[in-house]
Amino acid sequence: MSVQVTLDRVDKAFTNRRTGERQQIFRDFSFTLAPHELVAVVGSSGTGKTTLMHLMAGLERPDAGRVATGGGVQPRLGMVFQQPRLLDWTSVDTNVRLAARAAGVDPAEVPRILAAVGLTEYAQAYPSVLSGGQRQRVAVARAFVVQPELVLLDEPFSALDELTARRLRLLLQELWLREPRTGLLVTHNALEAAFLADRVLVLGGRPAEVVREYRIDRPRPRTPEDPELFDIHRQIVAALA
Ligand SMILES: Nc1ncnc2c1ncn2[C@@H]1O[C@H](COP(=O)(O)OP(=O)(O)OP(=O)(O)O)[C@@H](O)[C@H]1O
């Protein structure tokens, strides 16, 4: 249950709302996300990382070229954003249950995923009583309960303190080890990229191109203290500079 996503010679431009100028974000851009591969995309602000994610999700259409998913049908998506975007008027359980229902997933999956993210005892709690890290765990549960074929993570831990972010990275690794999926992670954190991904792309320039690419062959489970990962992270930071 995983999918391949290919961007084939994609062009994408936006009109700058303030200046009216046309900004060519991608020109003739090709990239393949292989089944079960987790690719992290880093790069300076405004390069086009989120646009790349939106193209993959089908939320933006290319001006030219093609975005193809294996099988030709829209894959089942799980998305996690910087902010958890929960429904504050209802419980953790219902937040996750509604996502499951919308995707036609058996509600019996809900307790299972809440256990996997460590929130069983908070199932009946409302988001307002949860910590930032717990709220983001709900967001992760909501994304994974649908059994996503494609997981899109847009700076998922960047609003959290470092210790909480670290715990959530370990949780994400656990979920991936249980069931590897195809995923794209947009992040500004080079160590997070090296720790979680199979491949890290450094995106730069306008139109954007892949200025460096790192294949991360470290076996899983990984630890953030792994000196080799730290070394790769330093190389990524240098490529970003
Ligand atoms: N819907 C849109 N309409 C107009 N311009 C847009 C739109 N979406 C993105 N842009 C512009 O395209 C460029 C790339 O945006 P994008 O959000 O993909 O960059 P990013 O690399 O994710 O940046 P950041 O790291 O700051 O989130 C930016 O200049 C942005 O203002």
160 — phi, psi (to 5°)?
A: -100, 155
- Give tens-digit pLDDT for 130-189: 999 999 999 999 999 999 999 999 999 999 999 999 999 999 999 999 989 999 999 999
H/E run at residue 215: strand 209-215
Count of other CB atoms within 10 angstroms of residue 118: 14
What are the residue ranges of CATH 3.40.50.300 in the chain? 5-75+149-240
Please give the distance, rounded to the nearest whole angstrom, from the Cα atom of residue 45 to the centre of ligand 1: 8
Q: Is 46 in the pocket of ligand 1 (CB under 6 A)?
A: yes
Condensed to tens digits (0 to 9), the pLDDT of residues 1-25 reads: 679 999 999 999 999 888 999 999 9
Residue 45 Cβ inside 6 Å of ligand 1? The answer reads yes
Whether residue 74 is predicted with pLDDT greater than 90 in this model: the reply is no
Q: What pLDDT score does 241 carry?
A: 86
The correct answer on CATH 3.40.50.300 for the domain covering 5-75+149-240 is yes
- pLDDT for 75 beyond 70: yes
pTM exceeds 0.90 for this model: yes
Percent pLDDT > 70 in the chain is: 99
Complex prediction ipTM: 0.97
Positions of E strands within 16-155: 22-33, 38-43, 64-69, 77-80, 150-154
At residue 10, the 3 state secondary structure works out as strand
Task: Say which residues have a Cβ less than 8 Å from residue 183's Cβ, sequence separation at least 6.
Answer: 33, 37, 38, 39, 150, 151, 152, 153, 176
Please tell me the distance between residue 52's alpha carbon and the centre of ligand 1 in angstroms.
10
Identify the pLDDT of residue 200: 98
